[in-house]
Amino acid sequence: MIRTLLTAMAGGLAAGAVAAAPLDPAPLRLFLDDATAGMPGRVEVSVGELDSRLALAPCARVVPFLPTGVRLWGRAHIGVRCVEGATWQAYVPVHVRVFGPALVANRALAAGESIGDADFELAEVELTREPPGLLSNPRGLQGKVLGRNMRAGQPLRADFLRARPVLGAGENVRVVYEGQGFQVTTEGKSLGAAGEGEPVRVQLTGGRVLTGVARPDRTVEVRF
């Protein structure tokens, strides 16, 4: 794992912010290295400057801290507190970028298309720019179809995937009722498409509509 700190402090605080002793970037480096140590993949951190409009008293020693509720993911800020020579605290902007492996589409893919290993490649992406749920293991693609269009190079998320349908809308199905100590089988018609293990509504021959779970061989399981 490579961790890089890019500092934009330009020698310390913005001009005029503190009358003496520029802000030492070393404690910030150590603090951010420790705070990002458990993150996956490669981490890059850019540190900005204090607001030049601040009029802070001279400080001999500043201690960085993470404000309550702040997550070091993407654009954020850390606190700096004077503990020697004055009493004040301020906030420094930071940009935390995390890079890690994810499956990306190697061509444009259409919603409803069955997918496999050949449709994706493993590449490094900026995790901090993507929603959660990125996939990196191609083994989970078997038996799946896309629920939305994807462009070439787009990272794959778990919520993009759907189970391959085992039932189509309007198909005649076998409905199996299962409960404590009994099982009843009857006939019905599916009111929508569904993959194995997904919920589906079925209409029985008498007109009653129930929701069950799609199973192979045009079977819908209804549990009581």
At residue 216, the pLDDT reads 83
At residue 13, the pLDDT reads 38
At residue 1, the pLDDT reads 44
At residue 23, the pLDDT reads 65
> Residue 207 belongs to what H/E stretch?
none
Fold of 165-223: SH3 type barrels. (2.30.30)
218, 174 Cβ separation under 8 angstroms: yes
Domain boundaries, the chain: 3-98, 100-163, 165-223
Which residues of the chain, if any, have pLDDT below 50? 1-21
At residue 142, the pLDDT reads 83
At residue 74, the pLDDT reads 95
Tell me the CATH architecture of domain 100-163: Alpha-Beta Complex (3.90)
Cα-flanking dihedrals φ and ψ of residue 26, to 5°?
-60, -45
State the DSSP string of 84-149.
Answer: ESS--EEEEEEEEEEEEEEEEESS-B-TT-B--GGGEEEEEEEGGGS-S-B---GGGGTTEEESS-
Question: Comparing C-alpha atoms, which of 218, 118, 130, 127 is closest to residue 174?
Answer: 218
144, 164 Cβ separation under 8 angstroms: yes
126, β-bridge pairs: 99
